[in-house]
Amino acid sequence: MRYGIIGGSIAGISAAKAIRENDSSADITVISGEKAGPYYRPIIPYLISGQKSEFDILYPEDPLRGRDIASVLGTAISVDAKKKEVLLASGARMSFDVLLLATGSVPLKPTIPGLEGTDVYPLRNMAQAIRISNAAKTSRSAVIIGGGLVGIKAALALRERNRSMGEGPREVTVIEALPEILSGRIDQRGVKIIRAAVEQEGVSVLTNTRASEIVRAQSAVTGVKLSTGKTLKADLVVVAAGVRPNITYLRHSGIKTNRGILVNESLRTNVAGIYAAGDVVEGRELLSNKNTVSGLWSNALEMGRAAGANMAGGNVNYPGFLSVMNASEIAGIPFVSAGLIEADGGKYKTISHEDGEGYWKLVLDGAFLVGAVFVGDLNNAGVYTNLIKNHIPITRVRDKIERRIAAYVDLMNN
Amino acid sequence: MNQIFVKPEKCMGCRSCEIACAIQHSKDKSLFPAISQSPAPMKRLFVEAAGGTRMPVLCRHCEDAPCISACISGCLYQDEKKFVRRKKERCIGCWSCVMACPFGVISRDREKHIAVKCDRCHKQDVPACVNACPTHALVLADAGVMSEEQRRKVVFTEATGASR
């Protein structure tokens, strides 16, 4: 069997590994658009801060090489489902028996006059992070468009570079159109703690603010005009205004898409023999029961694994994912948020607590824990996220759960 | 003789395992220097009690480890003995593993800013916690042998009506 995989990041790699485990004689080819071998995409902001090198963020061992999986550098521009062929930008064609679409997502480009041109950088892959890192060396003031996780991490990375290497912008401003940063990643109380810490690190945060124009003198960026009328000085602009699934190459393929590629519970598309996994998928969010795009590393890994097993004849059910399952440390504040993090009364019960150690919040739906936020103290966080992720009813240990003192041994008595 | 098994019915909750673990992971690997070490050395297992059950909770070195799947920096890996270990220099302190471990046995080293977990005392035959347990609530055994013993116990109980 010839297996084709378009996309060489975590979904594609996990699928390739799963195929190899299930089919030792499989002929597997991974097409990747990135020159560097497989790397850990979530940590590309460390290239901007200078805390890690390109080499540091590569996989310690190439997971493809050790498994006899071929790797091709290229970009797919179309898929012919009938001929079972992928056409690459180079003109090369790759035929397949079974195909995985794991092309991830691409940065959204907001429509702002002056955005096209030098000094403006998206941040989604290693090459882009390196470009920002190089531009940062001589930058004095940077503006980040978008206050999501990527934008905030980029801003802090630029500050870190300035602090530890003595180069890079002294002024860093994040502008966010919504009323608060990190929208959907953490609850309103939690984000206040994090925002204060981000500002403490010297990052200016402007919410309810949009960029209305990128101001240029000849070609170079000199500032960013805001919706408030004010103009910020800037010589470096990072666009972190979200992403969209990378599906334009599927336009005439007959593969059904909406925002992302639509799949069934086997991660198969509407076309037999063609599967999809990772950020390119529009799948079922388990708590809301609505279709959405995930964007999480761990979900992409699980999807890739399930899709790979199914491509090789397995029967792994993948009912969906949780949109929120985040852990991070931002500006010195560690946090975990999982599941439903903001519930407005109704059938939900919300318990929260704040003290010198930090802040926590739990959301319950009857016998089920459906959401959790931990800021500061992450002790036993995994015990709680496991209850959410695996939909385990709470019975006898409810009291300890609700007081946030439950440990693994309590669940043995659940 | 590869896996650590816990027999909750034998655990007295004396925490000798916790102390031995912290000493093992201290600079000098002996009690007195460990006590005065600052910051204090960290234990990797936790004696917990609930509903009459007392037991040390420790890393299971899961075959399909959720912590490894969650790791976004390539720090956690399964070594040649199937122990789940860290490449310490790769840890960025993102706490994804802390979020993912259903046993709650990965903690944060606030000084070094890295995740801390059981390394199965991989350099020695018998892990410090097992060595320290006075009641053999922690035992090192082969999974096959252990399950055979469990089965024998069940059959014996069923056949004789004896209580465990």
User: Considering only CB atoms, which chain A residues are within 8 Å of B106?
Assistant: 382
pLDDT-based confidence at residue B155 (cuts at 50, 70, 90): confident
Give the per-residue pLDDT at B164. Answer: 46
Best of B53, B95, B105, B108 to disrupt the A interface (most A CBs within 10 Å) is B95
Nearest to A382 among B48, B87, B98 (CB): B98
Joined tokens for residue A409: 């041994």
Nearest to B72 by CA among A213, A42, A248, A8: A42
SS3 assignment, position B75: coil
pLDDT of A414 over the 90 cut = no
Mean pLDDT calculated for residue range A140-155: 98
Name the average pLDDT for chain B.
93
Give the per-residue pLDDT at A169. Answer: 95
SS3 assignment, position A76: strand
SS3 assignment, position B64: coil
SS3 assignment, position A217: strand
Q: How far is A386 from chain B (nearest CA, A)?
A: 5
Question: From B67, which residue of chain A is nearest by alpha-carbon distance?
Answer: A382
Kindly list the residues of chain A whose beta carbon comes within 8 Å of any beta carbon in chain B.
40, 42-43, 46, 52, 56-60, 297-298, 301-302, 325-329, 334, 336, 338, 378-383, 385-386, 396-397, 400, 407-410, 412-413
Cβ <8 Å between B53 and A43: no
Least confident of A76-90, A286-300, B144-158: B144-158
Name the average pLDDT for chain A.
96
Cα–Cα dist B90/B87, whole Å: 6
Nearest to A385 by CA among A356, A366, A408: A408
Of residues A330 and A36, more confidence is placed in A330
Give percent of chain B with pLDDT exceeding 90. 81
Q: How far is B37 from chain A (nearest CA, A)?
A: 23
Least confident of A32-36, A111-115, A294-298, A371-375: A32-36
Question: Given the structure tokens 């000493």, which residue do they identify?
Answer: B23
pLDDT-based confidence at residue B150 (cuts at 50, 70, 90): confident
Nearest to A51 by CA among B98, B4, B60, B89: B89
Tens of pLDDT, residues A74-115:
999 999 999 999 999 999 999 999 999 999 999 999 999 999
Joined tokens for residue B65: 């480890």
Joined tokens for residue B107: 């903690």
User: Considering only CB atoms, which chain B residues are within 8 Å of A46?
Assistant: 92
Tens of pLDDT, residues A219-244:
999 999 999 999 999 999 999 999 99
Mean pLDDT calculated for residue range A310-319: 97
pLDDT of A20 over the 70 cut = yes
Chain A contact for B73, CB < 8 A? yes
Cβ <8 Å between A383 and B104: yes
Give percent of chain B with pLDDT exceeding 70. 98
Nearest to B104 among A52, A297, A380 (CB): A380
Give the per-residue pLDDT at A7. Answer: 98
Query: Has the ipTM of the complex gone over 0.90?
Result: yes
Cα–Cα dist B70/B60, whole Å: 16
Chain A contact for B78, CB < 8 A? no
Cα–Cα dist A264/A267, whole Å: 5
Cα–Cα dist A227/A211, whole Å: 6
Mean pLDDT calculated for residue range A313-330: 97
Of residues A326 and A396, more confidence is placed in A326
Of residues A36 and B24, more confidence is placed in B24
Least confident of A153-162, A306-315, A322-331, A338-347: A338-347
Write out the DSSP string of A253-297.
Answer: T---BSSSEE--TTSB-SSTTEEE-GGGEEEEETTTTEEEE---H
Give the per-residue pLDDT at B151. Answer: 82
Q: How far is A338 from chain B (nearest CA, A)?
A: 9
Residue A33's identity, in one-letter code, is: G
pLDDT of B52 over the 90 cut = no
Cβ <8 Å between A409 and B57: yes
Between the CA atoms of B139, B140, B145 and B147, what dihedral angle is there, to the nearest 10 degrees?
50
Give the per-residue pLDDT at B162. Answer: 65
Nearest to A40 by CA among A10, A63, A13: A10
pLDDT of A376 over the 80 cut = yes
Give the per-residue pLDDT at A328. Answer: 98
Tens of pLDDT, residues B86-104:
999 999 999 999 999 999 9
pLDDT-based confidence at residue A413 (cuts at 50, 70, 90): confident
pLDDT of A154 over the 70 cut = yes
Best of B72, B77, B78, B101 to disrupt the A interface (most A CBs within 10 Å) is B72
CB B51 within 8 A of CB A396: yes
> What is the per-residue burial (b if ≥16 Cβ within 10 Å, else e) of B90-111?
bbbbbbbbbbbbbbbbbbbeee
pLDDT of A312 over the 70 cut = yes
Cα–Cα dist A129/A48, whole Å: 6
Cα–Cα dist A161/A174, whole Å: 16
Give the per-residue pLDDT at A11. Answer: 98
Question: Given the structure tokens 């560097």, which residue do they identify?
Answer: A36
Cβ <8 Å between A327 and B94: yes
pLDDT of A327 over the 70 cut = yes
Give percent of chain A with pLDDT exceeding 70. 100
Q: How far is B77 from chain A (nearest CA, A)?
A: 10
Nearest to A386 among B69, B95, B102 (CB): B102
Give the per-residue pLDDT at B154. Answer: 80
pLDDT-based confidence at residue B1 (cuts at 50, 70, 90): low
User: What long-range pairs does A215-222 form, CB within 8 A, spacing at least 24?
Assistant: A215/A114, A216/A114, A216/A117, A219/A117, A219/A118, A220/A118, A220/A119, A221/A114, A221/A117, A221/A118, A221/A119, A221/A120
pLDDT-based confidence at residue B147 (cuts at 50, 70, 90): confident
Nearest to A43 among B51, B72, B95 (CB): B72
